[in-house]
Structure formats: structure tokens, C-alpha cells
Structure 1
């Protein structure tokens, strides 16, 4: 019996490990498009850019783990076709591999800009380890860095660039960073944080073009403003790598559609990580998240499902961010318009607080900012789906464990 995993990132590598840990003794083939062994992505915009994380610490497993665990790994290899009827895949090298169960863990890719000059040298994206090396090499003391997009990646890069002495301008179409994700009150906290550290923002801005001979030198905005730029880093979102699934005729919608057990519309094909749009029983909808914990937990869950083992139904979306001296964790899910109240507990001005997105008194999501050891309580409140007293929720004199 052979199980094949397409996508050699965190989700794929953890899935392979779980198959072995759960006693699967058949063949495992792990296929990745990058030349690197599987690695974790959070350090790419955090520790690696700051020089705080050694490069050899980003890998999921030690190099000899794959041979020792009898996991065949093929790097720098792209799967170009899935034949669902014959249960086989074809790679870009023309190799044909049979499978009994197949896992799609193909991740996501940065959305690319389509403006004049976007192909100039110095216009960078951050998704891969090679991307992080290029960005890190560009972040030098005194250089002018323009970051396009004030999402999580953009803000983490801005923090690293300022810490390393670069001049940083963030260009964003919205009126605040993370506005669609956090709403205006909490988004203002992050705007103030970065301004306090010397970041300049251009909100409500539209790009016109990038200028330079062979390398970018200027970012021109539609309002006529020209920004000096030794390097431009683009972070305007990502799209799921679901092209292979589309060609295979699987159900696709904002990623590969799967049930709560990571099963696709084909009972022998599963999906996990950034590419999967999974049904979540707690929120009673399909959700696609692009966060580290989703890959860390989703890969093993899919592996267990491939073996016919039960998968916990109530794992919540979770992510974390580090920017300067601010650390935050977010658990749950609240899309724009889901919440009718944002409740704060703690010192928002001092950036030590917990924020709760609620609807009809039920907690949908929570973010703890420089407040620790409360994530379990936040997740408990979300899972119960029961209304809570908003006054108690906001009162930091009442232990969160008693709410």
C-alpha cells in the first residue's frame, strides 16, 4: 500500500510523521516543489529576518529522519496530473506513481501585482525560504523599504526592517492596517505601534507604477506621490494552490473543499493546510486559514483520517504574531460582519489586553495581546457557544476562568 503526499511543507511533513507514528507500514512518498527539505514558515517573517533564528532550525525534521522513517522524499518536483480513476499521479519529470490514499498539502502562493515595473529587480515577495534570504539581504541600515500591504506579513516585515535600521513606508489601500481582519478599534492599536517605532503609512493609497532602470528606485502612487525605494516587499494576500485539484475535477471553492475529516469529494483524496477549505463544526461553515497552527495540526489530522482514525472535531483556528515588543495570539474565527460587539479586557493604551469578538453574547474569537496563559480560557468560551455576561468579560478583576 502506498500513501502519497503532494506538498512538502509543514502540513505534509507532519502528515508523513503521523502516518508512521500511527503504525502505517506501507510506502510513503512526500513530494515538494521546492528544492528544500520541509521547513516551517513563521521564522521567514520573524526570527530569520531579525537574525534571531539560525537557518538550520527552521526545518521540520533532521535530514536523516526521512530515510530513517522510510519516507521517500522528492524535492524540486511538481505533480502535474492526478488520474483519479487509475489512482496514480504524474510528475513534471514524467514519473508515474500509484497511490491508495492521496493528501494534497500544496499550500498557497502570494498574490502578484500587475502594475508597470512589477518585474524590476528589488520587487520582492515573501513565501519561501529563498524569498526570506533575499528579503533579509535587502534589510540593511539606512535603506528605504516600501512595503505594499498592511496585513500580518507586511507588518511583521516592517517590524523586522525597522529593528534592523531601515526606513520603512507601508502602502495600504484601506484606512488602517489589518482593518478587514480586526476592525477599526484594534487596527488602530497596530497603526500606533508601528508609528511609535518610526514606520510611515500611506493609507487609502493606490499604486501607479514602480520606476527604475533595472532595479526599483521609486514607488509612484496614484495621487502623484513618489516614494524612494531601494527595495519593495509585496504582501497583498495569497491564493490557494488548488490548480491541481481543479484539473482533477475535485470540488473547489476558496481552496479544496473538504469535510471536517479532511476528505475531499473523492473518498481517497484528502487535503490539509493552506489549500484546504474545511468544514468546521463549531462555526458550522467551511473555513480556509493560512496559519502555522492549521498546517501543524491539519497535516496530522488528515493522516489519521487517511488511516480511518477519528479526528478531533473542535480544533479552533489559531495564530500568533510578534512585532517589536508586542506579542499576540488569536483563537477562533470572526469574518467581517460576524461580530456585533468587540469587547476589551485590560489596558488597551498600554498594549496589554484581551479582545473578544462576540455576537448575541457568544464569543466567536479572542486575541490576547501581551497577556499570556489565557488562550485555553478563550478557546473554552468559543467552544461552549453559550452567551456570557459582557460586563464580566470586560472586567479584568474577574478571572477569565470564571467567566
Structure 2
């Protein structure tokens, strides 16, 4: 039975928000839990949108965090298709944007996520221009890829990040022609650097993807409302029937900013600034998932992590902190990807400029190895490619801050556990 003396409100119905609501109940909270989602679908997980569901290997229902009946069964007041347009920190209320309903909170969690960055160029209003962030986007794109594969159509992808590459792999599996336009010198350059970025370029070229590096999309050409081609700033024109904008995501922090909460600067990825307990600059307001910018003590920098694991773990951590539990959120960034016959997991944080060498353990030519990003002998990040059940060992090695002999690190015969001692 719900005790109405306390009300916890969660704004954002993605994985972080849904798992926070679940945790409040499993941790024994008996007050009102109000979960506000601006989509009409029940809370769902996003990785399948560019992986299994997009490929037709997973059913639509498999993406949802809970069965629809779960929310009522656990006394979660779920508001679908609703937005919050204002937070009154003095009155401790949130206001719904559609009808002006005002709800009071004792604790508030912002799990508003991120949104795709838009192409600010001519032609983005054409029917064949797509983004991929929501379930409705994936449903539409799945239909598009099916038609492109059947008709030998062309897909141009702006951006060679994780979403761009996963969609490229899916499109090739459907049989579509694919061209990827990317400003950097290699795919995933800002995450993996040139050493491992080249591996992904080779992987996709082996499967028929064409890359155009060092260029920026400046115009999408169409006729009668349909896409015909994509032009780049170096004068090239690429035939296209559809275009996917995969140029990153921006935190949905406008609500927090309007409420006067501290917002991280562009160098820190934007987002709502939180402490190690995921509290914002207002002690009764928390933030988790893609929108949160937190200070990571191990890397001594502020991070905004957009990946699945951060939502999965951050939502519950915030819920426990809202209940007064003694929790410090210091999870290592983690993400995974599946492209063709390559599966990988990455853990840690080592963008270009933070490491001085990359050490390979295994056979990179066979795409079966572990890569380590190392600075002054210490492992900052690791990526296992078609090698499994090593993530925990890699994380222990990173957390140990132990100085490791590069030769031992590269030797598959040297147990990873022994290197962290």
C-alpha cells in the first residue's frame, strides 16, 4: 500500500528512469513513485534499436524494460506521452507541459537522456532523412533498410560513430549499398584513436561499405521531396536514396538549465553536473544516465557517458541515494557492439591524447584480441574483440593503477589477474 507522505518523481522514461523506479520499490520505498515519459511506448532499452531489433533478430516486445502490467502492479504512476516543461525548486514541483498539471516532489530524479544532433544543412526536410534514437525511428529505419536491400538502394550515413557503424552493418546485411561520410581520419577516432579505428574501417570495407573520410556533409539533394544525393564540402556527390544523420547526441538538459541547476561546459560534454552521489546543485534533485555529468575519481575528470551500462547502473544508484543510502557512483564506462561477425566490449576511458601506447594481446589480423590503452605503464582502458569473459579482469587491472610490463600485457600466456597484483 502506498504511503502518500512522500513523493519521488522521475522525469524520463528510459532505462535509467525505469530501473530507478524498480530500485525504489525493491529497496522498500512505500511512498508515491511518479514516472513521466515523453514517449507513448513503455520504457525500453536502446541498444536493440541499432542491433538485434533493427536486424530483425529480436522481437519488438523484447526491448521493453518491464512488462506493461509491472508498473501498476508495483504502484508506479506511469505517465506516457507527457512532458515536463518546468521545475519550481522553491515549491518543489514539476509542471506537465500538455495540460499544466502540477505535481509536488520530495525528491526528483532527472533521467531525460539525450537527443540526436541534427544536420544543419539544406535538404534535411526531405522524406528520406533519418535519425536513430527512439523505437519509432528504429521501426521506420527497419522498413527503409528492407526496401533498400530489395531494390539495391543507397544509404548515406553521416558519422562513423557507434550508431553509424552499427546501422552500416545492418544495412549491408539487408543488402543495401552504404557510404559513410566522416570528418575524422578513421571511424570512432574520438573514442578509440587511429590504431583501433582503422580496424573498424577495414572490417566494414571487407563487407562492402565505402568510406569518405575528412569530409563533411553540406547538402542533401532531392527532387519531389525525395533524396537523390548527398554533397560534401570537398565537392563530392554521393548517390543516395536515404540519409542517416549519426553525428552524435546532445544531453537533454534544457529543463535543468531553466531551473537554474549547474550545467557542465561543452568541454565536459554538457549535461547536468552531479556529485559522486548523483546529486545536482540542488540537494533534492538527482540526475542519472545520458544527461548526467559526473566527476570520476579514478580518471580525475568529468564524464558524461551515453552508453547502456551507465543508464542501467546509474538509475539504481540515484534511487538509492534518494533514499539516503551511502552510495558512491564510480562505475567504469562500459559499452559493447556487434557488427557482422565482430563482437566487442570496451571498458575504461582513453580518448586520443590521454594515452601513450596501445598494446595488443592476441591476433588483430584475425579480429580476436584484447587492446589496452596505456599511459606510463598504467592501463586506462581495454577492448576485447571476439574474446569473452574478461571484462571483470580488465576492470580490475584499470582500477589497480598498477604499472604493467607491456610485454607481459601483450602475452596471452600471462594471466590478466596476475598483472594487477
Shift of 1:215: 1.4
Q: Is residue 280 of structure 2 the alignment partner of residue 264 of structure 1?
A: yes
Shift of 1:316: 1.1
Alignment counterpart, residue 282 of structure 1, candidates 270, 283, 298: 298
Match of 1:155 in 2: 165
The superposition leaves residues 335-355 of structure 1 with CA deviations (integer Å, 9 ceiling, x where unpaired) of 321111111111011101111
Deviates more, 1:303-312 or 1:68-77: 303-312
C-alpha distance in structure 2 between counterparts of 1:83 and 1:352, whole Å: 53
C-alpha distance in structure 1 between counterparts of 2:369 and 2:188, whole Å: 18
- Which runs of 5 or more structure 1 residues have no equivalent in the other structure? none
Q: Is residue 228 of structure 2 the alignment partner of residue 217 of structure 1?
A: yes
User: In the alignment, is the contact (CA less than 8 A) between 2:278 and 2:329 conserved in 1?
Assistant: no
C-alpha distance in structure 1 between counterparts of 2:199 and 2:160, whole Å: 13
What SS does structure 2 have at the residue aligned with 1:217?
strand
C-alpha distance in structure 2 between counterparts of 1:336 and 1:192, whole Å: 20
Match of 1:134 in 2: 140
Deviates more, 1:90-99 or 1:382-391: 382-391
Match of 1:333 in 2: 349
Shift of 1:313: 4.3
Number of equivalent positions:
403
Match of 2:30 in 1: 25
Match of 1:66 in 2: 71
C-alpha distance in structure 2 between counterparts of 1:355 and 1:303, whole Å: 35
Q: Is residue 182 of structure 2 the alignment partner of residue 166 of structure 1?
A: no
Runs of 4+ in 1 over 3 A off after TM superposition: none
- Which runs of 5 or more structure 2 residues have no equivalent in the other structure? 1-5, 265-269
User: In the alignment, is the contact (CA less than 8 A) between 2:276 and 2:330 conserved in 1?
Assistant: no
Match of 1:35 in 2: 40
C-alpha distance in structure 2 between counterparts of 1:300 and 1:222, whole Å: 45
Deviates more, 1:274-283 or 1:23-32: 274-283
The superposition leaves residues 221-271 of structure 1 with CA deviations (integer Å, 9 ceiling, x where unpaired) of 223222111111110011000000100000101100001110000000000
User: In the alignment, is the contact (CA less than 8 A) between 2:361 and 2:369 conserved in 1?
Assistant: yes
What SS does structure 1 have at the residue aligned with 2:17?
helix
C-alpha distance in structure 2 between counterparts of 1:335 and 1:82, whole Å: 35
Shift of 1:206: 2.1
Given the two structures, how large is their TM-score scaled by the length of structure 1? 0.99
Given the two structures, how large is their TM-score scaled by the length of structure 2? 0.94
User: In the alignment, is the contact (CA less than 8 A) between 1:314 and 1:383 conserved in 2?
Assistant: no
Match of 2:248 in 1: 237
Q: Is residue 126 of structure 2 the alignment partner of residue 120 of structure 1?
A: yes
Deviates more, 1:219-228 or 1:263-272: 219-228
Alignment counterpart, residue 395 of structure 1, candidates 383, 400, 411: 411
Deviates more, 1:393-402 or 1:148-157: 393-402
User: In the alignment, is the contact (CA less than 8 A) between 1:5 and 1:30 conserved in 2?
Assistant: yes
Shift of 1:318: 0.5
Shift of 1:314: 3.8
Match of 2:86 in 1: 81
Question: What does 1:37-56 correspond to in 2, within 5 Å?
Answer: 37-56=42-61
Match of 1:186 in 2: 196
The superposition leaves residues 24-67 of structure 1 with CA deviations (integer Å, 9 ceiling, x where unpaired) of 00000000111111000000000111100100110000000000
